[in-house]
Amino acid sequence: MRNWRAALDRRTARLPWRRATGPSWLQIAAVVVVVALVLAVTVVGLAIEESSSFVAFLATVFVAVTVIQLSGIGRWVAETFKNHSRIAAVAGVAAAFAFPFTQGGSGYWVRVFASVGVFAVAALGLNVVVGLAGLLDLGYVAFFGVGAYTGALLGGAALSPVRLQLPFLAVVLIGAAVAAGVGVIIGAPTLRLRGDYLAIVTLGFGEIFRITVNNWTGLTRGPNGVAGIPDLAAGPFDFGERHELFGVSLAGFTNYYFLEIVLVLVAILVFTRMDESRVGRAWVAIREDETAAEAMGINTTRLKLLAFAIGAAMAGVAGTVNAHVTSQVSPDSYTFIESILLVAAVVLGGMGTVPGALLGSTLLFVIPEKLRAFQQSRLLLFGIALILIMRFRPQGLIPSRRRTRELRQDDPAEGDAMGSPPSAPVTPTASSG
């Protein structure tokens, strides 16, 4: 089964893009073109009305991507993106900011992507817990819910038992702090449990959160939830209203969308910087061999709790913002299924990677929206997708180098292409290492 891939590799080895990367200007141009292409394809795809046409569209995209991968162009593109990652990032952000302008004044997809943004921040937080530290949390949505209710109760909602309206920044910080606090309370007794037990216990806590919120009517108004959360306002600038920018009238949600982009960027920055640091290495060490990590001087208890708290804080921030985006909170938005969706976004996208979490979040929101015809069977298809992906591509769509080796069963045929390591017994033709 692997042999055809190797054979194809050999066949395509002589194509021009396999042999050399090309001059710098070509690479930069390619980066810009690819980003613009992705934006265009996205806009076109989202505009497709009929579900069956959309499925055809997805199939076409899938085929195109596969061809690109197999012919080696994909590798070339990945390399150029790596070589010019700053430019790629700027291009990506520019495309994201440009998106609302392609919508002809309609706020529909902007609103969807605003939700994607919130979800992505939460997914990145879960990526810290699951992807980096390897702690499977099936009740993660509780932290999101804590943030949401904090945002609702302290954000001056019309129907709130707490008559308070604090400035947004304060509410966000409080939301993050409360969520982190809950994370520490939950984590302290439970983080020493082994993987699958931890999963069930966190699931339990997620359910406890939902039941508590549902029944503690004095604080949360129970099943009715808290509604009428006002739109954010920064001085005279109201987030909910339409605004005009560059001569284009943009729907209300665009403001939240732009805010989301900023938040997502911050989350990405925080995540990446933590990943590539002493703390990130310690988390990965804990994930790979907790006993050895402890023996190497890592206080595993503290670091696991830290991962949990940070993940919780990020979910709390996302939740707080979401309260304003959806203008209401209620217990049945924070169920087990939401936790699974978050786990799915992290795992299906590609565990431990930023692009993976973003892609996973996007797919999980956009595809159901597009496949409205399959509304009823959305959950069923989701379940099937989980099974299939875990069976056939457990490393996710955009695998991290590490995860690919962890999850795929070891196949001796798929060794590194680099040859034997430099310090091995030297053969007459010494490798360059």
Partner 1 sequence: MTVTGRPAVARVLQATGVVKRFGGLTAVGGVDFHVGEKEIVGLIGPNGAGKTTFFNCLTGLEVPDEGAITYRDKALPGRPHAVTKAGLARTFQNIRLFPDMTALENVLVGRHCRTRSGVFEAVTRLGRFRREERESLERAEELLQFVGLPKSGDWLARNLPYGDQRRLEVARALATDPGLLLLDEPTAGMNPHETAGVMALVRRVREQGLPVVVIEHDMRFIFGLCDRVVVLVQGKVLTEGAPADVQANPAVVEAYLGKPA
Partner 2 sequence: MNQFFQQFANGLVLGSTYALIALGYTMVYGIIQLINFAHGEIFMMGAFGGLATHAWIVPDGAPAALALLMVLVGAILTSVATAVLMERLAYRPLRNAPRLAPLITAIGVSIVLQEGIRLFYPGAKTARPFPRLISGENLHLGEITIARVSIVQVLTAVVLTVGLTLFIRRTRTGKAMRATAEDPQTAQLMGINVDRIIVITFVLGAALAAVAGVLQGMRFGQIDFRMGFLMGIKAFTAAVLGGIGNVAGAVLGGFMLGLVEVLATEYLPLGSAWKDVWAFVVLIGILVFRPSGLLGERVAARA
| Residue 234 interacts with, from partner 2, partner 1, none (CB under 5-8 Å by kind) | none
Residue 77 interaction partner, one of partner 1, partner 2, none, beta carbon < 5-8 Å per kind = none
Residue of 36, 41, 90, 193 that binds partner 2 (CB under 8 A) = 193
Residue 303 found at the interface with partner 2 (CB under 8 A): no
Q: Rule CB under 8 A: which of 243-282 touch partner 1?
A: 269-270, 273-274, 277-282
169 vs 387, beta carbon nearer partner 1: 169
Interface positions, 401-420, toward partner 1 (CB under 8 A): 402, 405-406, 415-416
Minimal distance, residue 379 CB to partner 2, in Å: 5
312 binds partner 1 (CB under 8 A): no
Site membership for partner 2, residue 189 (CB under 8 A): yes
- Nearest to 213, CA basis, from 204, 201, 221, 202: 221
Local structure of 70: helix, strand or coil? helix
Q: Does 214 bind partner 2 (CB under 8 A)?
A: yes
Residues 132, 307 contacting (CB under 8 angstroms): yes
Please choose, from the candidates 121, 116, 93, the residue with its C-alpha nearest in 3D space to the C-alpha of residue 320: 121
Pairing of strands 243-245, 248-250: antiparallel
Q: Kindly state the smallest distance separating residue 133's Cβ from partner 2, in Å.
A: 13
Interatomic CA distance for residues 200 and 52, integer angstroms: 38
Tokens, residue 186? 């939950």
Q: Give the count of beta carbons closer than 10 Å to the beta carbon of residue 9.
A: 13
Exposure of 182 in the CB half-sphere (CA atoms within 13 A): 26
DSSP letters spanning 18-32: HH----HHHHHHHHH
Indicate which of partner 1, partner 2, none lies near residue 405 (CB less than 5 to 8 Å, by partner kind).
Answer: partner 1
Window 349-388: contact mask with partner 2 (x via CB under 8 A): ---------------------------xx-xx-xxxxxx-
Q: Does 1 bind partner 2 (CB under 8 A)?
A: no
Q: How many residues lie near partner 2 (CB under 8 A)? A: 41
Q: Give, as ranges, the residues between 46 and 65 that touch partner 2 (CB under 8 A).
A: none
The residues, ordered by sequence, that sit 6+ positions from 196 with a Cβ below 8 Å of its Cβ are 136
Query: What's the rounded Cα separation, in Å, for the pair 9 and 7?
Result: 5
Which range in 25-33, 185-193, 228-236, 277-285 contacts partner 2 by CB under 8 A? 185-193
Are 309 and 140 in contact by the 8 Å Cβ rule? The answer is: no
107 Cβ contact list (under 8 Å, min separation 6): 250, 251, 252, 253, 254
Partner interacting with residue 409 (select from partner 1, partner 2, none; CB below 5-8 Å by kind): partner 2
Sites of contact with partner 2 (CB under 8 A): 136, 189-190, 193, 195-197, 199-201, 203-205, 207-208, 211-212, 214-215, 336-337, 340, 343-344, 347, 376-377, 379-380, 382-387, 390-391, 394, 406-407, 409
